[in-house]
Each structure stands twice: as C-alpha cells, then as structure tokens.
Chain A
Amino acid sequence: MANATKQETKKGISLNLRNTLVGLSFILPNFIGFAVFTLVPVIFSFILSLMKWDGFTPMEFVAFDNFVKIFGEKKFIESLGHTVYFAFFTVLLSMAAALALALLLNQKLKFVNFFRSAIFFPYVASIVAVSCVWKAMFMEDGGVINSALQMLGVAEDMLPGWTASVAWAMPAVIIVSVWRNMGYFMIIYLAALQDIPNSLYEAAEMDGASKWQQFVRITFPMLTPSHFFVFMMLTINSFKTFDLIFLMTEGGPGTATQLLSMYVYNKAFISWDYGVTSAASMVLFLIVATITVLQFRVEKKFNDFM
C-alpha cells in the first residue's frame, strides 16, 4: 500500500518534470532570444543608471549622481516639459477623434468598410514617407495647409510657421500624431461599441431619451474599459514617440520639439554617456510604469464602485 503511494508520487514528480520540460521546450526558442536581446539589456539599464561609464574604461558606482545631474540640466527639464505637452494633447485629441469616428462608423452604412479602412491606413503607412509629405504640406510658403488657411481668410502675416516656428512646431507634430493614431484606436472603440447590448438603447428609447442622453448615459459609460485601455496605450505611445519628431523637426527649431526620447537618443548615440542615458531612460520608464499602474488601480476602484 505504502509502496504504491510512493510509486505514484514518484510518477507524479516525473510527470510534473516532464510537463515542465515539454512546456519549456516550446518557450525556449523564443525565450533565448528574448532574454539575451531584451531582458538582459533592460536589467543592465537599471544597473547602468547608477554607474559612470563611457563604454570602455571600468565602471564606477556613483549611486544617484546621474539623476542629480540630469535634473540639474535645463535641457532635460525642458524635454520633460515638452514630452508632457506633446503627450497631453496627443492623448486627448486622439481619444476624442477615435471615439467620434467610431460612433460615426458604427452605423449601418454603405461602404462602411471602405471608410474604416481609409481612416486606418495612415497607421500602417511608412513613417518616413508620411513625415516627408507632412513636412512639405506644412511649408510656410507654398505649403498646402497655409494656402488653405489663406483661402479661408487668414491674413498673410498671421499664418503659422508650423515646423519652422518655435510656437507652432509642437502643434504641427501633434496634428500628424493624432492623424496616425486615430484609425487604430477607432477600431478598438468600434469593437467595444459592438458589444453594447441593443436592448439598453431600446429601453432608453421607450423612456423617451434623446440621442445625446443615450450617448451620455449609455454609450460613454459602457465604454469605460476601452477608455482606460486607449488612454494607457496612447500615453505609453506618446512617451515613446521618436521617429515622427526626429523626421519632421529633429527636435527643433532650437529645442522646441525635443522630447525625452530624443534627449535619451542624443545622450546615447551622440555623447555616448551610458550613465546619464540610463538615468534619463529610467525617468522615462518610471513615468510610463506609474501611469500604467495608476490606471490599473483607478480602473479597479472604478469597477468595484460600479
């Protein structure tokens, strides 16, 4: 009897081990590459932020010196400010545009798929190609956008300089960023809209609720999980944005559109300052991580409340 149990346990362990080995064998081909090229650099970056290193001479532990250094640097504080400015408007406007488009395209219409595809297309178009076009369209003289504004009656000396002007470069890149984002998040909203039960609207209609009331009382609150998700994704994306701005303005004019991601890039591949780069990128990481954690917290509270 005792012998049998023992044998079973032994068999159990070996079965467990076998399962683990089989499971790992599936994961391994991907995991090796993932661990070497992503996980190790991520961990290394944490360590480097506390070190002084130029990539060749031995490392030196300097604790939080790198952080003190960057927070004392005007360029860093500036780029932090620009990033918040860029992210705030990009997130807000992309969410509004995506939701509006989703509502509009959630109806039974002819060619609805064509409209959806057309609006999604900017998201898959090459960023290099797209930024070249927008740059040309934003040209101060002869650009389509300013010509159109002029036709609409904007006085010539009031025309914005867009990517050539300190004040207007940021709005210009925000416009392009919203244009690229809106189709993607529209699809996420559309998927969620299709899950709202029709009976809710039927009941509201019986009670004489107007279309606007239906939106405020049913549609908008029913989309809450999507709002959270879209908000988080957009925030992360905005803090990561690099290509678009590098290609359109290279952070300029002056430092008008220099974002944190570009500050990190410059410190990395122009100054080759490993410590400062890693410290600055830790700040970037912490902001993104905090927003992610916060939004999960708020969402959970919100769900409990509901």
Chain B
Amino acid sequence: MIEKKQHPVARFAVYALLIILTIGTLLPLVWMLSASLKLDSEVFTVPIKWLPETFHWENYPKVWQKIDFATYSFNSLKLTVIITLIQLFTCSFASYGFSKCNFKGRDTLFLCYVATIAIPWQTYMLPQYSLMRMLGGVDTHWGYIALQAFSAFGVFLLRQFYQSIPNELLEAARIDGLSEYGIYGRIVLPLAKPALTTLTIFTFVTIWNDFMGPMIYFNTESLKTIPLGIRMFLGQYSTSYELIMAASVMSLLPVFALYIPCQKFFVQGVATSGLKG
C-alpha cells in the first residue's frame, strides 16, 4: 500500500487550528499570570495589555503579608500528604482483597463500593456531617482526613490494575509457600507502581483543590486551606484582583509542578477509570 501523505496546506491548517485551540484553552491561565503582575488599576484596562508594562513581582510577597498564606499552605500540604498516604495504604490493601482473594460475598461488597462512587455527595453530606459532629470531628483536621482517606474510587482504580496481573504468577508464589500478605508486599505492590503513582497524583490534586469539604468542615482560621484562603481574600479585598490572581497562581504551582513530569500517569488514570470493570 502506498502511504498517503497529507497535503501540506491541510497539515498547516491542522497545526494552525490546534495552536488556536490550545491558546484559547490556556487563555484564562495566561490572564491569571498576567493580572498577578500588574497594578490593580491596570487589571481591567481596555484594550487589555497581556504583558504588564513593569512586572510587579511584589504582589506575591504582599499576599503573604495580607493573609496568613503560610498557614493555609501548611494546612493544604499536611492534609494532602496524610490523606494520600492513608489512601495508598488502605486502597491498595483492599484492592488486593477484592481482586486476588476468593471468598463469598466479595463481589456484592465491591458493588456497594462502585455504587457509592455514582451517588452524588450532596445526597449524604448532611447525615455525614451530623455523624461527624457526634464524633467530635467537625472543625478538626482529623475529621476531614477521616472523610477523605477511605476512597471508593481509589479501590476501584487499583482493582482495575490488579486484575491485569496474571493469577498464575501469584499461584506460583503460593506454591513456593509465600503467604497472601507476602504476595501482596513482594509481588503485587512492586508491579503496581504505575497504578499507585496514578492514584497518588489523583488524590493529591483532588485534595489540594478541594473547596467544598473544607468550606463545610473548617471554621477555625488556623485550620483553613489555600482554596478557602483565596475565597476569603476575594471577600475582603474584592478589588485587589492582582493579589487574588497572585494567590491563585501560587495555588496552581504545586499541581503544575506535579503535572509536567507526570502527565503520562494523569492520562493513564483517566484512561483506566474509563475502562469498564
């Protein structure tokens, strides 16, 4: 067969279209960065100047002075890291039970898990809140951690991956006298590194960006996270768009730093969760 080459003009058109679409998609982020380096009087000039005349880098340290950005960052980081670690442990453990151990009622139990992924959180957020109040977990970090740490989605994601590990491999290990825990630790976990990385990234991003959970659960100033801080900023200094944008840029940086080297895992995660179990 003759390999058909695309016409150069058509090829050019595809690239032009892609570049326009990409710029269009990233435009809000460019606007954010540009506004964060302006004076507040320059933010809404018509026609817009994408490149500020002088770069006002001092907007960034100003954010740290005006609000307690250090505390918010620390809280965001603390919650994100703890929740991610607990999820990695409990989800990878549970997924092994759901995919590699055979016992009665296993699949029914798993169905419960999957069903709750589809149930909107709004459906049970009030009973959950009351329960948490009874346990004394409202307005505490541990309460929020307890809500987020036992993710059904994480179990679902990892189970999808574990199922691709051939059972013969585990059978051979069993014959060699390795216990189920040994198989999990020595065979399945090392093989599951890509899936665990994917879950780490997904959880990190979700918790780092979460707004509604912290909004409902945290009242005390010293407990609040970055998204809440930015929201409060918007209420207090609603005209200082350059500062709000500087805070927004800073809130995006960790996710951006994770996204650039780990794109492959993001894509893998989406594609895996898209496959039907």
State whether A41 and B127 are in contact (beta carbons under 8 Å apart), knowing that A26-B180, A107-B14, A187-B270 are contacts in the complex.
yes
Among B4, B17, B263, find the residue whose CB has the most chain A CB atoms closer than 10 A.
B263
User: Which of B53-61, B149-157, B163-171, B192-200 lies at the binding interface?
Assistant: B149-157
Specify the main secondary structure of chain B where it touches its partner.
helix
Complex interface bits, B127-151 against A, C-beta within 8 A gives 1, otherwise 0: 1111110000000000000110110
Closest 9 CB pairs of A and B: A26-B97, A33-B150, A23-B101, A142-B44, A129-B248, A30-B94, A30-B90, A20-B103, A41-B128
Residues of chain B contacted by A33 (CB below 8 angstroms) = 90, 146, 149-150
**Among B28, B152, B227, B251, residue most surrounded by chain A Cβ atoms (within 10 Å):** B28
Contact assessment for A37 and B48 in the assembled complex, using a CB-CB cutoff below 8 Å: no
Q: Is the interface of A mostly helix, strand, loop or mixed?
A: helix
Set of chain B residues within 8 Å of A179, measured between Cβ atoms: 25, 28
Q: How far is the CA of A140 from the CA of B205 in the complex (A)?
A: 32
Q: Is the CB of A242 within 8 A of B122?
A: yes
A120 touches B127 (CB 8 A): no
Cβ contact within 8 Å between A277 and B267 = no
| Residues of chain A at interface, number, CB under 8 A | 95
Q: Is B208 an interface residue (CB 8 A)?
A: yes
Given contacts A109-B18, A121-B259, contact A147 B94 (CB under 8 A): no
Interface residues of A (CB under 8 A from B): 16, 19-20, 22-27, 29-34, 36-42, 44-45, 48, 55, 101, 104-105, 107, 109, 113-122, 124-130, 132-134, 136-137, 139, 141-144, 147, 151, 179, 183-184, 187-188, 191-192, 202, 205, 225-226, 229, 236, 239-240, 242-243, 246-247, 260-261, 264-265, 268-269, 274, 277-278, 281-282, 284-285, 288-289, 292
Q: How far is the CA of A36 from the CA of B134 in the complex (A)?
A: 12
CB-contact partner of A26 in B94, B146, B241, under 8 A:
B94
State in angstroms the CA–CA spacing of A192 and B229 once bound together: 40
Contacts of A264 in B (CB 8 A): 122, 125
User: For this complex, into which size category does the number of interface residues on chain B fall?
Assistant: 35 or more
The answer to whether A34 and B150 touch (CB under 8 A), given A39-B116, A128-B251, is yes
The verdict on A42 contacting B32 (CB below 8 Å), with A23-B101, A142-B45 known, is no
Could you tell me which B residues sit within 8 Å of A by CB distance?
Answer: 1, 4, 14-15, 17-18, 21-22, 25-29, 31-32, 35, 43-48, 89-91, 93-94, 96-98, 101-104, 106, 109, 112-113, 116, 118-132, 146-147, 149-150, 152, 155, 180, 184, 205, 208-209, 211-212, 216, 226-227, 230-231, 234, 241, 244-245, 247-249, 251-252, 255, 259, 263, 266-267, 270-271, 274, 276
Which A residue sits closest to B274, measured CB to CB?
A188
Inter-chain CA distance A205–B118, complex, in Å, is: 42
For B120, give its contact among A113, A226, A284 (CB under 8 Å): A284
- Judging by beta carbons under 8 Å apart, are B126 and A268 in contact? yes
Contacts A45-B123, A139-B44 hold; do A37 and B150 have CB atoms under 8 A apart? yes
A127 close to B209 (CB less than 8 A): yes
